[in-house]
Amino acid sequence: MNEKDQVNRRNTRVWVKMNEDAKSSYFRNQFIQKYGGKFVKEGKHWKWVEIDFEKLLIEDFEKQVKEFKPPEPVIRIERGKNYVFLNKEGKEVYIKNLLDFCMENKLVRGAMYDLMSGKRKTYKGYKFLRKEE
């Protein structure tokens, strides 16, 4: 018989080592490092329990699936300032949200801000006219 078979059998050499020896906590730690599992206190004695990690992982995964709550949808608040630009054809373009406009039209937002500040005169055919409030 090996240690694993004797650890929970009362009055075997291994059982006495784990329960009644002066260094029993040291021996229990050594046993856990060698075989895994854990010791559970039952009354005044210790019982070794082998842990099935695969089963533990499956149970943990199932618990997470049951407790999973999908994230709440993001509510976008319409914000932004109104800008008026002149496009290539010479028509006025009214823009409520500059970031969305730049993303939809594949424009660089920084270049559009340069138009508004006067650092640039045109960008991809757009000219800045005015800011509306």
Instruction: Summarize pLDDT for 59-68 with one digit per residue, the tens.
Output: 888 888 888 8
Instruction: Summarize pLDDT for 43-90 with one digit per residue, the tens.
Output: 999 998 887 777 777 888 888 888 888 888 877 766 667 889 998 898
CATH class of residue range 82-132 = mainly alpha
Contact 124, 107 (CB under 8 A): yes
This prediction has a pTM of 0.41
Tokens 């997470």 sit at which residue?
64
Contact 109, 102 (CB under 8 A): yes
Residue boundaries of the structural domains of the chain: 3-67, 82-132
